[in-house]
Amino acid sequence: MDEPTIQLTRETFGNIPPSSVVAFYVMAVASVLVFCWGVWRRWKLWRQGKPISVREILTGNFARLKPRLGRLLKEGLGQKRVRGRGLASWAHVMMFAGFMMLFLGTTLLEVDHLAAKVSEKFHFHHGWYYVIYEGALDVFGLLFIIGISLFVWRRMRRPGSLGHRASDWTVLGLFLGIGVTGYFVEGLRIVWDQPVGLALWCSPVGAGLAKLFGGMSEATSRSAHLAVWWVHSLMVFGFFAMIPFTRLLHLITGPANLFFSTPSLGQLTPISIEAVEETGVVGVSEIAHLDQQQLLSLDACMECGRCDDACPAFASGKPLSPKAVVQDLKGLMETTALGQAAALHGDTIHAETIWACTSCSACVTACPVRVDPLGLLFELRRDRAAEGALAGSAANSMRQMQTKGNPWGFPQAERLAWADGLDVPLASDHPDFEILWWVGCAGSFDRRAQKVTRSIAKLLLKAGVNFAVLGPNECCTGDSARRLGDEFLFQELAEKNHATLKQHGVRKILTQCPHCMNSLTHDYPQFGDKFEVVHHTEFLQQLIDDGKLAAPERTGSVTYHDPCYLARVNGVHQAPRDLLGDGISEMEQRREKTFCCGAGGGRMWMEEEADQRVSVLRAKEAIETGAETVAVGCPFCLTMMTDGVKSCGSGAKVEDVAENLAKRLGL
């Protein structure tokens, strides 16, 4: 007698009465309508902002769409920016992978069901496809449950940087219920359906659960299956309906923000005088001054706290939480729509919060969905600066920048005083130079930084580099002015420097200050010519590679502090290490994930409370490596790390990478 053929398939609505199927679709439509209504309510909030050219973005050529689609694939589906944070990352990746596979599986099952209604030949949920389908969903369902369980455990520990709402437990409970009841539905189906062989074991978890229900009669198992199926379905409908009203909204806003955001580390959007004359607006003083993508990004925030964990101002006890800035603006967006808005400045965001930022971009790179707290703070600073709210030592430095051409207030005639006794050529006397050395204000006027400048000069002269400096014709790039919100002072300085650079036909620039480097690389092309800009550590390493300088062995232990605007913003972190040689005692926070010294964003020119110094936190990390020398690649970092090391009572020496190399070469 022939054995019965194993049926590698199952009914989509097996054991479900027609009336229940109708009710299922009615409730499905209802949940989708609630979902759409909720998203529409949020969309109306985003519409309060300045319009963005959505049509232009979507209908642009593929070259313009490619990076946006790439972010969706790599950072959205690939979870690139989620990974690398221990338990939280593993939990999210497992939950996300499980959710996406279960969602895809449910969608394919419904497509098969509807296709079979048209014609049985369109039915594809059978055979080896069915085996792979069932096995994959069983495995990914487990990942989903494990991920949710890890999140439950994490929330029970209540980490301080993580946002907490009562609805979070509802969402986690709902997710866990969906995962568990899904397996129970499968197990009970197996009890009454009695599949055998591969048809049974292609669902290993369901088959295992079926053994627990093995004593049930067919009638009992069918009744239990129908009841659990309804519980499972109601949970799924509840999930869809809840998305726009809970953190689950980031399922929509997260990918949308990844697509519509414009990554711009180290860059700010310029403001024109004409636009200000037309609108009377500089920066942001009310929610309507933000654009629609920025308002969308407020809803993309999950309050995961990564930005707070990465923020040096937050770590040092300053009154700044990037997460709170985003959430406070989100609250203002909601109350503004209701006509109950408080003042943005003062009531919603305090002045101390705005000025506490070091503009290190750590919060920007930490966010999994590219929410940009730094960009929001820059816009708030612009408004405050335009209103004359910048005061104290920072305001004095800006005045000196405008009147003297540098924040120290020294006469321009003294810009070349550091070169006394060195044969440093001026661009005006040596017009056939190949590279212009932009010394910068710190390198020209700060007494400690002048020693670095002299070391670089000696190295360039020894290597026979055909270079020149501008001397008294060099003005501050205006980087600090722009980061402090004084856009038009920056533009005034940039215009003057552009004219000087054009006069000398400059195409390639060497800098020793990462802030000057960033400004010349990212800011200046917005107003004129684009230059090839190289940091002195890169240039010196190239001289060694070309055989123009030797690379003697290093003596003594050394650690290296990566400047934010060099490593994180502009991606330069290997050249300084190559110059220092092998065996560097590395700090935990390094390269693109470096920790700020505290001087960026104009904080160099502000007074600080002794117990809120970012430099002390970074100095402690450097000292803990046990290194005798702390090397840096930025004049601001040189100042801050020197102060920080002294405050810690350490005898470690702080020096620039160029000083270290010059010393080893006996220069």
Per-residue model confidence (pLDDT) at position 640 = 96
Per the domain annotation, does 12 fall within a domain?
A: no
Residues 204 and 269 in one domain: no
Residues 379 and 409 in one domain: no
Residues 425 and 501 in one domain: yes
Q: Is 15 left (phi over 0), alpha (psi -120 to 50) or beta?
A: left
pLDDT above 90 covers a percentage of the chain that reads 82
Per-residue model confidence (pLDDT) at position 407 = 95
Per the structure, the count of domains in the chain is 4
Looking up residue 533, the CATH number of its domain turns out to be 3.40.50
Residues 198 and 311 in one domain: no
Residues 377 and 417 in one domain: no
Residue 641 has pLDDT above 60, yes or no: yes
First-to-last C-alpha distance (Å) of the chain? 97
Residue 176 has pLDDT above 90, yes or no: yes
Query: Of the residues 230, 250, 270, which one is the last residue of a structural domain?
Result: 250
Per the domain annotation, does 366 fall within a domain?
A: yes
Residue 1 has pLDDT above 70, yes or no: no
Residue 264 confidence class, pLDDT cut points 50, 70, 90: confident
Q: Is the dihedral of CA 447, 452, 456, 461 positive or negative?
A: positive
Mean pLDDT over the full length of the chain: 93
Per the domain annotation, does 65 fall within a domain?
A: no
Per the domain annotation, does 553 fall within a domain?
A: no
Per the domain annotation, does 341 fall within a domain?
A: yes
**Helical packing angle, 204-212 and 166-193, nearest 10°:** 80
Query: Of the residues 512, 540, 568, which one is the last residue of a structural domain?
Result: 540
Per-residue model confidence (pLDDT) at position 6 = 64
Per the domain annotation, does 356 fall within a domain?
A: yes
Per-residue model confidence (pLDDT) at position 54 = 84
Per-residue model confidence (pLDDT) at position 3 = 47
Residues 186 and 320 in one domain: no
Looking up residue 118, the CATH number of its domain turns out to be 1.20.950.20
Residue 5 confidence class, pLDDT cut points 50, 70, 90: low
Residue-wise burial string across 438-451, b where 16 or more C-beta atoms lie within 10 A, e elsewhere:
bbbbbbbbbeebbb
Residue 533 has pLDDT above 90, yes or no: yes
Residue 138 has pLDDT above 90, yes or no: yes
Per the domain annotation, does 545 fall within a domain?
A: no
Lowest mean per-residue pLDDT among 58-72, 310-324, 555-569, 651-665: 58-72
Per-residue model confidence (pLDDT) at position 457 = 97
Residues 105 and 237 in one domain: yes
**600-613 per-position pLDDT tens digit:** 999 999 988 888 99
**354-400 per-position pLDDT tens digit:** 999 999 999 999 999 999 999 999 999 999 999 999 999 999 999 99
Query: Of the residues 196, 231, 250, which one is the last residue of a structural domain?
Result: 250
Which residue range(s) make up the domain with 634? 558-664
Per-residue model confidence (pLDDT) at position 296 = 97
Per the domain annotation, does 376 fall within a domain?
A: yes
DSSP lists the bridge partners of residue 653 as 629
What DSSP element (H or E) covers 643?
Answer: helix 635-647
Residues 451 and 521 in one domain: yes
Residue 2 has pLDDT above 60, yes or no: no
Looking up residue 357, the CATH number of its domain turns out to be 1.10.1060
Residues 6+ positions from 276 with CB-CB distance below 8 Å: 282
**421-471 per-position pLDDT tens digit:** 999 999 999 999 999 999 999 999 999 999 999 999 999 999 999 999 999
Residues 536 and 609 in one domain: no
- 199 versus 291: which is more confidently predicted? 291
Task: Please compute the mean of the pLDDT values over residues 153-162 and round it to a whole number.
Answer: 86
Residue 198 confidence class, pLDDT cut points 50, 70, 90: confident
Residues 110 and 145 in one domain: yes
